[in-house]
């Protein structure tokens, strides 16, 4: 029997950590499998479909998470809610789309001792923000989406979408310069502070001083300026690599039914951190 075959699809894929992380996860399970990366622009998806169906499963990253939707046979609940897919299982020629980003997000918060509750300030309105907005609203949080003036209409559309799909959701959108009050949790879903531009933050330090906890989805570098500044104000902090590894582990659980323990995941997170530092710094 041949080993299972998996891949990550995106465009571009130069800096993806997915192959490294998945290979370490396969090793942690004592499993023999291959995982490749395939650069694929959205317009090439239809043509690539036969070769994708020959795989046992695949992951999707920017800009394919929504572009894949018309080509899937089935969608699980979260993927349907967000209209975004990052994991596909291929079984008996049927492609089923899932979203495991939310599992990575919730596990990352949990492992840092952060509760998704109370007043939440969400920075950004892109793909990761989409998922976080829904999860925070479903957890009963009061959500404020903050965006730059150029992104305000997108943030307002996201807030409207969440209110439309989750009855009673308390979610609003505004620009960064009008953020006021205190927050239980700040979520950064923007690339601000990501390598090679580590000297950026999505908000000013005076906003961080009013946040009890901060989660930064950026994983490169491990300690962003946002987290470093938040730590100085006494906030509980969590960074992006645990989210990346846990969402990959959740994808493998979908593909082959094997579950992971926190004890198996912790060394993979550290290995991924070291690999990222080796490659980028």
Known catalytic residue at 165:
no
- Mean pLDDT of all residues belonging to the chain: 96
**pLDDT given at position 260:** 96
Q: Does 33 score more than 70 pLDDT?
A: yes
Tens digit of pLDDT for each residue in 237-281?
A: 999 999 999 999 999 999 999 999 999 999 999 999 999 999 886
Q: Which of 24, 37, 65, 89 is catalytic?
A: 65
**pLDDT given at position 281:** 67
Tens digit of pLDDT for each residue in 157-201?
A: 999 999 999 999 999 999 999 999 999 999 999 999 998 889 999
pLDDT band at 1 (very low <50, low <70, confident <90, very high): low
Which 8-state DSSP code applies to residue 183? B
Rounded CA gap, 148 and 125, in Å?
Answer: 10
Tens digit of pLDDT for each residue in 34-50?
A: 999 999 999 999 999 99
With tokens 């894949």, the residue in question is 68
Tens digit of pLDDT for each residue in 195-217?
A: 888 999 999 999 999 999 999 99
Arithmetic mean of pLDDT, 84-91: 96
Residue 212: CB atoms within 10 Å: 18
Tens digit of pLDDT for each residue in 68-81?
A: 999 999 999 999 99
**pLDDT given at position 193:** 94
Strand order across the beta sheet in which 119-123 lies: 170-175, 142-147, 119-123, 185-188, 213-216, 236-238
Q: What angle do CA 185, 191, 193 make, to 5 degrees?
A: 80
Of 182, 210, 21, 217, nearest in space to 112 by CA: 217
pTM of the model: 0.95
Pairing relationship of beta strands 119-123 and 213-216 according to DSSP bridges: unpaired
**pLDDT given at position 2:** 81
């Amino acid at each position: 029997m041949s080993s299972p075959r998996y891949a990550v699809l995106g465009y571009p894929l130069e800096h993806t950590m997915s192959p490294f992380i998945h290979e370490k996860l396969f090793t942690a399970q004592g499993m023999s499998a291959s995982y490749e990366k395939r650069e694929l622009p959205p317009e090439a998806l239809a043509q690539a479909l036969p070769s994708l169906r020959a795989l046992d499963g695949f992951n999707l990253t920017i800009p394919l998470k929504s572009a894949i939707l018309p080509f899937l046979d089935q969608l699980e609940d979260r993927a349907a809610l967000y209209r975004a897919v990052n994991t596909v299982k291929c079984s008996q020629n049927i492609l089923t789309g899932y979203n495991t980003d939310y599992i990575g997000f919730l596990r990352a918060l949990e492992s840092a001792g952060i509760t998704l509750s109370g007043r939440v300030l969400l920075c950004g309105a892109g793909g990761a923000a989409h998922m976080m907005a829904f999860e925070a609203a479903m957890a009963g949080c009061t959500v404020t989406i903050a965006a730059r003036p150029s992104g305000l209409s997108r943030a307002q559309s996201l807030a409207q979408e969440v209110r439309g799909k989750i009855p009673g959701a308390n979610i609003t959108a505004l620009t960064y310069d009008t953020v006021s009050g205190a927050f239980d949790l700040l979520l950064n879903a923007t690339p601000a502070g990501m390598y090679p531009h580590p000297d950026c933050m999505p908000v000013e330090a005076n906003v961080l001083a009013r946040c009890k906890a901060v989660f930064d989805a950026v994983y490169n570098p491990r300690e962003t300026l946002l987290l470093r500044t938040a730590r100085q104000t006494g906030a509980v902090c969590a960074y992006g690599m645990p989210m990346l590894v846990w969402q990959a582990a959740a994808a493998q659980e979908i593909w082959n039914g094997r579950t992971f323990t926190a004890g198996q995941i912790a060394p993979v997170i550290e290995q991924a951190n070291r690999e990222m530092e080796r490659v980028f710094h």
